[in-house]
Amino acid sequence: MEVEHTQLLPGPREGVWDRLLDFDVLARTLPGVERLDPLGPDVCTLVARVIVPSITGTYEGKVEVVEKEPIDRYRLRGEARGRLGWVRGEAHFRLESLPDGTSVTARMDFQAGGMLRSVGQRFMEAVVRSMLRDFFAAFEKELTPDGAGARER
């Protein structure tokens, strides 16, 4: 399953890049994430709590930054398991400088197994789209002292 979202964020591409690769910032902005504990500069463990009908639970796994091309693009690969099943996927981030900020396009490819698979592709796709919007809204607040709303493209 694939989901894509593009957001215009304030600030130069270098600053947005640095924050997107900061596990502390990601732990504060990724919906449901309780902890991201670094294992190295580009790898961390993950503990997430998802509170969505049919898939509520705690999931633990690992997240790794791969294929970095500073300050243009990178790929985030992750997997997590919980009592209801597993999820594995990748998020591809592409950054572009624009006159009024930085455009970030996130494309997520993911698969689910176990009981998570049984809730249906359309439901999971809607959940992921919602989580992407929530992530970018929270990430926007990390970038601006006044917490102004992010703008979708």
**Hey, what domains does the chain have and what are their CATH numbers?**
2-152 (3.30.530.20)
| pTM for the model | 0.87
pLDDT digits (tens, 9 = 90+) for 84-119: 899 999 999 999 999 999 999 999 999 999 988 888
Query: Which pLDDT belongs to residue 151?
Result: 44
Nearest to 150 by CA among 19, 10, 2, 31: 10
In whole angstroms, give the CA distance from residue 136 to residue 55. Answer: 22
Give me the chain's average pLDDT, please.
91
